Structure 1
Amino acid sequence: MRILIRGAGDLATGIASRLYHGGHQIIMTEIAVPLTVRRMVAFSRAVYEGRAEVEDMTGILVHSMEEANAVIQDGDIPIIVDEKAEIVQKYKPDVIVDAILAKKNLGTRMTDAPFVIGVGPGFTAGLDCHCVVETKRGHTLGMVLYDGSAIPNTGVPGNIGGFTTERLIRAGGNGLIEPVASIGDMVEKGQVVAVTGGQKVYAQMSGIVRGMLQPGVQVWKNLKIGDIDARCEKFHCFTISDKARSIGGGVLEAVTGFENIRNKYAIVVLAAGRSLRFGGENKLLTTVSGKPLYEHTLARLEGFWDFSRFVVTGYHEIEKRAEELGMHSVINLEPELGISHSIQMGLKACLEENPDIQGVLFSVCDQPKLHPATIQRLLNTAGLHKGQIICTANQGRPGNPVLWDRKFFPKLMSLSGDNGGKQIMAEIPEKIRYVEAHAKELHDIDYKSDISDLDYRE
């Protein structure tokens, strides 16, 4: 797969190592003046040295997509100075990994690529990325989160060899850095290890210098310019860390999971109902939290633009908006035939586009609180449990959306009237797997009184 990694520091390089050895094609972006402390194990070093060797990999500085392609053809990794990752337009990656590690999102969006991974704090799965990889040392390091965010930044470095804040080397003043100690040197507590802006910087502990900024970089007081490791293993200074490998493993897991579902599933939104319980009005066009009810569902599908998405509707407004968002419209002018007719129209459209499709996720259009993270988890679960029905639920109560494996397509095509998939599911409960969702997500709007519920106000 084509993968773009934003950032080329030591953790990003650990991610690149996992993906590179997994056979993926990689481009990494960096800023013009990298401030990577563990630079001997970071491809960011290529920005000012032209190339960087890290273990058995080579990163080479490039200035264009053409140069990047040449480096990729040679089996190496191109590094480009591109703070805003504008090369995305030409590279068109399958996956973007934001590994800038800024502790906040600097502009990455869930719609930037078919699959977007946020690394560390500052990202929320389903909001600005498809998943988040945990970076905090401890039991959950490297865990892939498909719902929620990573543990917030505490400002306290992880414990290595019994030390936390003491192991950091920080600038004593504003100005250029002049390292006194080199990476791999043994130092004692109180020893001068660098000069910044004319101010001497002293080691706060004894150990081996594991990281130090390159000479001549403009720094400011209290900036992290190096670190010391009490374990005193020189090998650690020049190889990817356990933390970076763990985070890289999480990213590789997420990428592999995406590969497992890509081009195998479609999404169908059912939006052709007659709103009989809504007092005769079209509930899907009713304003809820500042926009038409149907817009909530369509908006939540924007991040899944790499999947085939169909909207079954008889309403021009919905058809027009769906097509603006790159979705296919299936026109149902006979809503009186019941939901079974809409299901079958949507399923036929999916099969016409891809006869070998593995499954179809059916979503209704009146659940304004449905979260994109739940849709992602349904797709992931289907990829792991082929031949089964994947259904959302809250504390044992099933709801929508539901993802149907192709094994059950004949049963869906045999439905009639206003009968949906519930009757099929009732016959084969052993074939159902449930994905837990919040109760608000599963609650649909059937009556006007439902809209006045405070839970639906943004």
Structure 2
Amino acid sequence: MAERKSARCDAVVLAAGAGRRFGGRKLLASFEGRPLAAGALDAAFAAPVGRVLLVTDGDGDLAAFARDHARALGREADLEIVVTAHAAEGMGASLRAGVEALRSDPDGVFVFLGDMPRIPSGLSQALVRALAPDVDAVAPRFMERRGHPVLFGRACFPALRALGGDVGAREVLAALGDRLALVDSAEPGVLFDVDRPEDLA
């Protein structure tokens, strides 16, 4: 098919980081009047996905917030909390845990970062439309910089399940060459993340 408007996808939200540059846990810190993690969860649930997997290091407060947030959206049954014992390894290990936890065999998986609260609405649908037969992954681009979330097609799953350390999926994306499609976005939110307390302002 030329495009996969009906692709079956799930979403993984990476939320297991220690927040070292922030000075500690940050995803429940207040950002624009609500916990920082709310933005990523909203974006994940707004995507055309069946399930949202939140990867944590066992933070019970974050898990409780996520469940309450999903319940308020009417999506509590679609949320799964994935606890990884390898969070200290870094983002790659957390992403590996999320992809390993996929129960079904979806056509793709969105990867959202828990500290990116300004992902524009409607972007995920544009990424799905770009997941064509000759494309293995899709990412947004703002002013020539690749952003998030990334939609990985099924062909990327073996490489994602082999990840470790703190590199994340950069090497997986770099290896794709022209099988990585970039979708231009007019929204800087695809690049904005919260690393330090001053970023909350």
TM-score, length-scaled by structure 2: 0.85
Match of 1:347 among 80, 99, 102: 99
Deviation at 1:393, TM superposition (A): 1.2
Within-5 A mapping of 1:241-260: 258=5, 260=6
Match of 1:445 among 177, 194, 198: 194
Deviation at 1:312, TM superposition (A): 0.5
Is 2:96–2:161's contact at 8 Å kept on the other side of the alignment?
yes
Within-5 A mapping of 1:15-54: none
Within-5 A mapping of 1:419-458: 419-437=167-185, 438-452=187-201
Letter in 2 for 1:417: G
Which whole-Å CA distance do the structure 2 matches of 1:369 and 1:449 have between them? 16
- Over the matched positions of the two proteins, sequence identity in percent amounts to 26
For the residue of structure 1 that corresponds to 2:130, the secondary structure is: helix
Tell me which residue corresponds to 1:287: 30
Tell me which residue corresponds to 1:319: 63
Is 2:141–2:190's contact at 8 Å kept on the other side of the alignment?
no
Deviation at 1:305, TM superposition (A): 7.4
Is 1:387–1:407's contact at 8 Å kept on the other side of the alignment?
no
Tell me which residue corresponds to 2:73: none
Deviation at 1:376, TM superposition (A): 2.0
Which whole-Å CA distance do the structure 1 matches of 2:47 and 2:61 have between them? 21
Which whole-Å CA distance do the structure 1 matches of 2:163 and 2:130 have between them? 25
Higher relative contact order (CA 8 A, sep 6+): 2
Q: Deviations over 1:296-333 (max 9, x none)?
A: 21123343475221110122122123334121110124
Mapped pair 1:310 → 2:62: no
Q: Deviations over 1:106-165 (max 9, x none)?
A: xxxxxxxxxxxxxxxxxxxxxxxxxxxxxxxxxxxxxxxxxxxxxxxxxxxxxxxxxxxx
Match of 1:395 among 127, 133, 143: 143
Which whole-Å CA distance do the structure 2 matches of 1:420 and 1:301 have between them? 19
Q: 1:399–1:267: structure 2 CA closer, same or farther, 3 Å change rule?
A: same
Larger radius of gyration: 1
Is 1:266–1:359's contact at 8 Å kept on the other side of the alignment?
yes
Unpaired stretches in structure 2, ≥5 consecutive residues: 71-75
Tell me which residue corresponds to 1:376: 125
Deviation at 1:361, TM superposition (A): 0.9
Unpaired stretches in structure 1, ≥5 consecutive residues: 1-255, 453-458
Is 2:19–2:195's contact at 8 Å kept on the other side of the alignment?
yes
Which whole-Å CA distance do the structure 2 matches of 1:320 and 1:339 have between them? 22
For the aligned residue pairs, the C-alpha RMSD in angstroms reads 2.0
For the residue of structure 1 that corresponds to 2:164, the secondary structure is: coil
For the residue of structure 1 that corresponds to 2:147, the secondary structure is: strand
Q: 1:391–1:342: structure 2 CA closer, same or farther, 3 Å change rule?
A: same
Mapped pair 1:407 → 2:155: yes
TM-score, length-scaled by structure 1: 0.39
Higher strand share: 1
Which whole-Å CA distance do the structure 1 matches of 2:173 and 2:44 have between them? 25
Q: 1:386–1:291: structure 2 CA closer, same or farther, 3 Å change rule?
A: farther
Mapped pair 1:275 → 2:19: yes
Is 1:399–1:442's contact at 8 Å kept on the other side of the alignment?
yes
Tell me which residue corresponds to 1:365: 114
Q: Deviations over 1:422-457 (max 9, x none)?
A: 1122233211101222123321111122122xxxxx
Match of 1:338 among 68, 81, 90: 90
Which whole-Å CA distance do the structure 2 matches of 1:267 and 1:435 have between them? 18
Q: Deviations over 1:335-387 (max 9, x none)?
A: 2121111111110111xx21x321111110111111221122112222x3464
Which whole-Å CA distance do the structure 2 matches of 1:304 and 1:413 have between them? 22
Letter in 2 for 1:318: L
Which whole-Å CA distance do the structure 2 matches of 1:443 and 1:323 have between them? 25
